[in-house]
Amino acid sequence: MATTTVTFSLRSSDLIPSQVLSMTTSKRLYKAGSALDGVNQMDMGRVEVPTDDYGGGAAKAYDLIDATALAVNKSNYIYIANLTTTESNYVVVSCKDHVIGRLYAGDFMWLPCNFDAATNDIDVQAFVGTATLEYAVFHEGKTLTETDA
């Protein structure tokens, strides 16, 4: 059983007048419904997301995290960071055609996701310029879905 821990903090000394913001939380990553059995698999990578579908047309959304391969109703802890440095460039992150939000240059997100349906992939769509994303998924079971042609 692997032990994987995420720690997250938010800090600001001047966003709220008279109140320093200082929050920290930590969580060990478990399989769904368990407090003993940690997630035991991970995928990690770096990808480029084009804005113009390689010159072939309008910007498209691409599957970054495939729900089918990672299995429905299992733990999937998703980390995505936009490594782009141009502040006007952004990536729209969506799930099942619903926009979650925009990751501008330097932004990151953390999403515990159990995929309630195999079609609920996490999609990304770059705007303004090609985006470089770094991502990692900590999960409990990946099933290969494509056979050798």
Partner 1 sequence: MATTTATIAISSSDLMSGQIVSLSKSNTLKQAASKTGVESTTGLAMKTLESASKVDLITYANDDISGNAAKLYVKNTGSSTDQYVQVLVNSEEFARLYGGDFMFIPYTGGSGEDIEVQPSTSAKVTLEYIAFY
Query: 68 by DSSP, 3-state: which?
Result: helix
Q: What is the CA radius of gyration of the chain?
A: 17
Measured at the CA of 45, the angle between CA 114 and CA 1, to 5 degrees, comes to 55
Give the β-pairing of 90-95 and 62-65. unpaired
Residue whose CB is less far from partner 1, 25 or 143: 25
Residue whose CB is less far from partner 1, 85 or 147: 85
Query: In the complex, what is the shortest distance from the CB of residue 56 to partner 1, in angstroms, rounded to a whole number?
Result: 26
Query: In the complex, what is the shortest distance from the CB of residue 134 to partner 1, in angstroms, rounded to a whole number?
Result: 8
Query: In the complex, what is the shortest distance from the CB of residue 145 to partner 1, in angstroms, rounded to a whole number?
Result: 21
Residue whose CB is less far from partner 1, 8 or 63: 8
